[in-house]
Amino acid sequence: MTEDNEDFLDEELLDSNSIDIDEENKGLYEHFNITVDKNQEPLRIDKFLLIFRQNSSRNKISQTCRAGNVVVNGVAVKQNYRVKPGDQISVLLAHPPRENVIIPQDIPINIVYEDDDLVVVDKEPGMVVHPGFGNWDGTLVNALAFHFAKNGEKSDLDRVGLVHRIDKDTSGLLVIAKNEYALSFLAKQFFDRKTRRLYWAFVWGNVQDDEGTIKGHIGRHPKNRMQMSVYEDGSHGKHAVTHYKVLERFRYMTWVECKLETGRTHQIRAHFKHIGHTLFNDERYEGHTPLRGVNLPKYKSFIKNVFEILPRHALHAHTLGFIHPTTKQELYFESPMPQDMADAVKKWRNYLEN
């Protein structure tokens, strides 16, 4: 057999005819392709994949097949399919994070829905989703581990299945799988970009059009590796498309709703900076200083006060919709505007009325 096996999102994994990957969710999935050797004898695909991926369990392979994430010659197959010489196999494995120890911590979290398969959380701004370098505790995953243990559920990493992530300072909705099948089923929807997600953002300036689309490849900034840049000529980065609609104008700030056609790292932040409307108070993208050229009494003092009210980039994961792994019914959730953003809106309205 031959293999094309790459860890999701580190490099350009798929060709132009393939599915886009949400780069915010780096490390949550593994995608690999196999061409079955010409001398291979017929063998059930679950056994074949167990030989091929020795670090996977029989249950994980079975649930991955059940979720439709094992495709042979372009068709999803069940675990009893028998591989044949020349078969082209594509597998999407969803896996929970693999750090050695997750310490359960009694941290308040806003759970908006929970059943035997999944939990939906409305994340507060400032909370890191998963432990990592510099943030080994105090994360959403630590809080979930405590929550599961308190309810008598298994609380090891296999029960904390992150399907997607949002940035530390981004607030809003996340879904977490509670078993292997739910993780695989939900991962496929995010992989295929069949979920319903809308973001709310405050951006600097008065966005000219009521609705619009921003296009441009997104890749690392050539000098500041903490930023992403937009390359309109496609010379670097990956294809990215953001659709937006203006919800309210504040003369020097605009409230927009964003729908992502692709899912690149910092896509909303990079795209709006590129068109001259950086996210409000986004320090990483130079959105943390007052808009230049505004000569109004007490304007800088006013902006300073708003920054104190909203001390993070103004981005909120407002909606989340997906098909439930067991019932196959659509679940849809809306998160209200968080208090810091709502207070900023109120202050802007008062400022413009006076």
* CATH number of residue 268's parent domain: 3.30.2350.10
Amino acid at 246: V
| Residue 42 to residues 50, 73, 203, Cα–Cα distance (Å) | 15, 16, 58
* Rg of the chain taking only CA atoms, in angstroms: 22
**Positions marked active-site:** 167
70 plus 214 within the same structural domain: no
DSSP β-bridge partners for residue 43: 83
pLDDT band at 68 (very low <50, low <70, confident <90, very high): confident
Average pLDDT, the chain: 84
What is the pLDDT at residue 159? 45
- Pick the last residue of a domain from 94, 122, 148: 94
79 plus 202 within the same structural domain: no
90 plus 217 within the same structural domain: no
pTM metric for this prediction: 0.76
Q: What is the CATH number for 76?
A: 3.10.290.10
**Span 235-248, pLDDT tens digits:** 889 999 999 999 99
Chain centre distance of CA 291: 29
- Joined together, the tokens standing for residue 255 give 């409230």
CB 319 within 8 A of CB 166: no
What is the separation, in whole angstroms, between the first and last Cα of the chain? 72
What is the pLDDT at residue 17? 24
66 plus 211 within the same structural domain: no
Domain count, the chain: 2
79 plus 209 within the same structural domain: no
pLDDT at 321 over 90: yes
- Pick the last residue of a domain from 60, 94, 128: 94
**Span 107-138, pLDDT tens digits:** 999 999 999 999 999 999 999 888 765 567 88
349 plus 220 within the same structural domain: yes
What is the pLDDT at residue 3? 36
**Span 251-310, pLDDT tens digits:** 999 999 999 988 888 999 999 999 999 999 999 899 999 988 888 878 999 999 999 999
Least Cα distance to 137 among 174, 102, 96 occurs for: 102
In a domain? residue 112: no
In a domain? residue 89: yes
Structural domain of 64? 2-94
In a domain? residue 328: no
- List of residues 6+ apart from 286 with CB closer than 8 A: 273, 278
| Residue 137 to residues 127, 197, 312, Cα–Cα distance (Å) | 10, 28, 21
Give CA–CA dist 77/159, Å, rounded: 26
Residue 129 buriedness (CB in 10 A; 0-12 / 13-18 / 19+): buried
High-pLDDT (> 70) share of the chain, %: 84
pLDDT at 84 over 70: yes
- Pick the last residue of a domain from 40, 65, 94: 94
Chain centre distance of CA 162: 10
110-114/88-94 β-pairing: unpaired
What letter does residue 123 receive in the DSSP assignment? E
223 plus 349 within the same structural domain: yes
